Structure 1
């Protein structure tokens, strides 16, 4: 008997799920299929677990989830409360209940939401109670329909970071058969998102405009009901919801990929907005932690980039808040615009590694320029009022700070609506506000290049090649400096990334994706505005095209 066959039969003996047991029985004589499922395992990291549904340790299934819950339980104090949420994907409710059963059996006090909830609702609940020691969200966010995932939050309401992830991973490795785990029952069930709604709908970010016409899509996810309730509480008229995408559906039938960044994902929303003459389109991803925005322009509807929305929201929040202890944070792959905005408003600025788990940990003692966040004996502690990443993730706060220590697509949607209402009352649009920022801070144009591979060794080879021989020019501009982020630059933890700073303020960051088999390149061009902003935008687009072509050729 082969090792793969033996591993599969051992899995069969403990698997509580008849569907994955049947899947395994059908492939017991297929070595290639067994190798795909048993030749590796899903690694538990700072993003928790995420992968394709199916049998075996290299898939998301009940055994994988129960092992993860047992490993998590081993790292938590006995008797602590753990809040568990889940989205509407295939298997999510079952995985949440399995998690609760394992945690209860291990002496913890799990509490599970009665129905699917957005990720920011779970994140808020995790930090809202002093005796909560962790939170679990069963979701694969905007991944394809065949995937699911498992995100872990700590008592501060933020996603875990090292070394906590490694400690949980090691504890998972020590878990034996799941049919030998002690399972509990009778855990508390949460009914509704009222606590989250109280926090996010009371954000003090300006006066709502009931006349603002908004079209909204949850992309078949779980955001609709909570977003509509939040808008009603905040005084906005109810957005028109795209009917074809209104109900949660784990198969995401109207989109090729349930990510609002993907081409075509917003087509139905844009068509409805054009038909209604709407002022604004807002979209959440399926677990509602991301927010996409589109506005009408002279040439039709325009979808704003994450960096454009981030810049607009940052300045809006800073106008509506006060205090020299305020902190704004973005990531090393997001636009450099936020640094300039922070300086103009006299607030603290910090950069973090990619991901909201790092945004929420940003800060530390101030550096020589006084830019970094944190606290010192000579000043008040930082008060994070805004954080964002270019991948449509935003945490929006007010003078009380941020209500969610993670990206929050519903709170961001409220803030975008408030900003659009303010602009509309002055006879202006979000596009006018973008032009204002370009004139104040220079035009910051950003774009991405993703290179997907079938063999992960190609990513390693490309990164090593760039480290060994970094280019002298990119996009026609001299490379003025090169940072290997694996050494830990500017006080940041080491990460597998490369940063090229170009003449004129442009830059390129290259890193492997943390969730997909691809190399991601983040491009930024910075240009002064000389009066004809339309011409400057056209020149920036051409410069981005040249930069994209050069980077693609360098990595080929």
Structure 2
């Protein structure tokens, strides 16, 4: 199609768009005859996949807007069928509440029942609500930690977990069959879920997790302008902790995220205000949630002063030991993703419990098998369970924060810190040092080209370590479904996984080096950590050169 061919679909879009804001935006593009912009918006569409929908706000099928959302809701309604019950939640991003209301109107107009949360609450509250209310599906309007101009649409099934194939494909095909949205029947009546209806039961569930008995702890916390602040504070107080001291400038929901470049605790600078607050107040623990509070970041004091943020793998290892030490039974299972540390498998073997490795994403971790009491992925996502099982069948930044606080309070009571616990773990299993190399691009073809080059000419060595084996995850390995990724096992007990991000325009590389720690004084761990930093830096540098990005 030529650029002028997109004028007709743009006019058709205008005729059905119920949003005066995006109509005005598109009318201006047409008035300016900006054919490049029309081609970008109408030459492609947001694809509905296992992460649902996610993209920049604006007019057109390649943007998040009311038309796109109504079509998604209509497709979901066709797959579920009349009479089914869907719970709808939303975060505080631009238009999230509008998209939630549109979803409820389309669902009820199609003969389904909808329950909509009355306020912007965390994603794990929605995931919990699906099972708690016995619903058939759930929708969460959120773009998690994406930039301010993005929004998204995440779908959960009746088990309270995110959808996986083949359900996502069925919904996608149903969406493609939806006609104009101005012809959809719209309902006007649905149930509104208040704080007592759903947040209170959620708090009851997560405060019943194995937190431990120690409670003396001071916490510095930031919700990063997201929706976690109230619910996390309420959870802490209900569990018996003091309310955390909150980073004031980031305490309230703000869709512009004015104090951070990207509202993701992993991004450089995102934790600066929380770390400054911790230093000012002498906090024992630093906690953060991402904007929809399904992830949890953790910082701990350093022996010589200051604080350091723990990696997702470090927190995952600590929580795994904590959960397995607080649960019982031969059928227990722990799970993580192919890009996370190999440490969890060693912890599971040491504890005599089952271990599973899945594709990236909690939708897969939740399908790891029966008896799952703990799951995590290195990107700060954790699902903490008890003998009663997992209260949330997705990553839960609130439940994880409670468990970490209990672990830190116990360590404080014993005169120790989380760093001491990590050192103990390194002595038992070896120091499992991980790092990530992420490359953000404007042109997704750069990522496609880089993956093609690696497949055509795999590296023979990286940072002086021979590549002992290379696995193309697209071919399906170790019983896993195919996915776009490459895994290299290097000499000296090291590993690299390269994959495109499923939610952002990034190529992500996950690095791990395992260094044995000699028995003896703490200097052994310190030396191993120093060596790990040098080795990981060398590996990053070499890998960046190989990628050519």
TM-score by length of 2: 0.96
**1:109-508 alignment to 2 at 5 Å?**
109-130=113-134, 132-192=135-195, 193-209=199-215, 211-297=216-302, 298-363=304-369, 382-508=370-496
TM-superposition CA deviations, 1:462-488 (whole Å, max 9, x none): 212222221121121111111111111
Partner of 2:504: 516
Structure 2: unaligned runs, 5 residues or longer: none
Moved more, 543-552 or 408-417: 543-552
Inter-partner Cα distance in structure 1 for 2:546 and 2:451: 11
Q: In structure 2, the residue corresponding to 1:148 is in which secondary structure?
A: strand
Offset at 1:549?
Answer: 1.3
Inter-partner Cα distance in structure 1 for 2:450 and 2:210: 47
Inter-partner Cα distance in structure 2 for 1:98 and 1:32: 30
Offset at 1:195?
Answer: 1.6
Q: In structure 2, the residue corresponding to 1:535 is in which secondary structure?
A: helix
Inter-partner Cα distance in structure 1 for 2:202 and 2:257: 26
Which of 53, 57, 76 is the aligned partner of 1:53?
57
Question: Contact (CA 8 Å) 2:93, 2:148: kept in 1 or not?
Answer: yes
Inter-partner Cα distance in structure 2 for 1:517 and 1:219: 21
Partner of 2:47: 43
Matched, 1:8 2:10: yes
Inter-partner Cα distance in structure 1 for 2:82 and 2:506: 40
Inter-partner Cα distance in structure 2 for 1:454 and 1:267: 27
Inter-partner Cα distance in structure 2 for 1:450 and 1:222: 26
Inter-partner Cα distance in structure 1 for 2:231 and 2:15: 41
The aligned length equals 536
Matched, 1:550 2:538: no
Moved more, 229-238 or 110-119: 229-238
Partner of 1:65: 69
TM-superposition CA deviations, 1:253-301 (whole Å, max 9, x none): 1111111111111111111111111100100001000000001102521
Offset at 1:456?
Answer: 2.1
Matched, 1:541 2:533: yes
Partner of 1:377: none
Question: Contact (CA 8 Å) 1:334, 1:390: kept in 2 or not?
Answer: yes
TM-superposition CA deviations, 1:299-330 (whole Å, max 9, x none): 52100000000000000111111111111000
Question: Contact (CA 8 Å) 2:56, 2:149: kept in 1 or not?
Answer: yes
Inter-partner Cα distance in structure 2 for 1:18 and 1:208: 54
Question: Contact (CA 8 Å) 1:444, 1:526: kept in 2 or not?
Answer: yes
Moved over 4 A (4+): none
Matched, 1:528 2:531: no
Offset at 1:129?
Answer: 3.0
Aligned Cα root-mean-square deviation (Å): 1.1
Inter-partner Cα distance in structure 1 for 2:191 and 2:431: 52
Structure 1: unaligned runs, 5 residues or longer: 364-381
Inter-partner Cα distance in structure 2 for 1:505 and 1:311: 18
Q: In structure 2, the residue corresponding to 1:58 is in which secondary structure?
A: coil
Inter-partner Cα distance in structure 2 for 1:244 and 1:461: 41
Partner of 1:374: none
Q: In structure 2, the residue corresponding to 1:251 is in which secondary structure?
A: coil
Matched, 1:85 2:73: no
Partner of 2:23: 21
Inter-partner Cα distance in structure 2 for 1:470 and 1:146: 37
Inter-partner Cα distance in structure 1 for 2:527 and 2:537: 15
Partner of 1:368: none
Question: Contact (CA 8 Å) 2:54, 2:64: kept in 1 or not?
Answer: yes
Question: Contact (CA 8 Å) 1:328, 1:348: kept in 2 or not?
Answer: yes
Question: Contact (CA 8 Å) 1:72, 1:171: kept in 2 or not?
Answer: yes
Inter-partner Cα distance in structure 2 for 1:452 and 1:214: 33
Inter-partner Cα distance in structure 2 for 1:167 and 1:453: 31
Partner of 1:372: none
Moved more, 328-337 or 507-516: 507-516
Question: Contact (CA 8 Å) 1:143, 1:258: kept in 2 or not?
Answer: yes
TM-score by length of 1: 0.95
Inter-partner Cα distance in structure 2 for 1:231 and 1:454: 41
